[in-house]
Amino acid sequence: MEKLTEKEKELIRGSWEGLGKNKVPHGIIMFSRLFELDPALLNLFHYSTNCATTQDCLSSPEFLEHVTKVMLVIDAAVSHLDDLHTLEEFLLNLGSKHQAAGVHTQSFALVGESLLYMLQRSLAQGYTAALRQAWLNMYTIIVATMSRGWTKNGERKTD
């Protein structure tokens, strides 16, 4: 697994301090952006409330739980910046579960774009080029590991 520089870790930790305290509202900004970028992703959430529109999804408790789950994965990564490898098994497994749920790896990149959008909106002046790059590097590590798990699961099925 790739490593982050000390400066990158400092930028990520500093910016997450406030955002991490309000996970759901920030997660909602992210997912609303995600559905703007690719409305077809709404169809992958099959809960008791059907996610036909972003508004439907946002009124589904199960969907909001998924928003929380995503934010908790980010929170775990921020808490383990010095030892991200300890999350490897978890992230491989998570990628494999998303393969089974019909989520394509390209969609993980769109979540990354939505994460940056949320950071830009929430941090305003604090959203610098260095901070953007630090978050992008961390998210790329998460997604690279999830994608490895995704591929492994896909291969297992076509064996």
> Which positions lie near ligand HEM, rule CB under 6 A?
41, 44-45, 62, 66, 69-70, 73, 94, 97-98, 101, 103, 107-108, 111, 142
Q: Which is nearer to ligand HEM, 97 or 132 (CB)?
A: 97
By beta-carbon proximity to ligand HEM, the closer residue of 62 and 89 is 62
- Which residue's CB is nearer to ligand HEM, number 37 or number 128? 37
| Residue-wise DSSP of the chain | -----HHHHHHHHHHHHHHGGGHHHHHHHHHHHHHHH-GGGGGG-BSSSB-SSHHHHHT-HHHHHHHHHHHHHHHHHHHTGGGGGGGHHHHHHHHHHHHHTT--HHHHHHHHHHHHHHHHHHHGGG--HHHHHHHHHHHHHHHHHHHHHHHHHHHHHH-
Shortest gap between Cβ of 112 and ligand HEM (angstroms)?
A: 8
CB of 57 to ligand HEM, least distance (A): 10
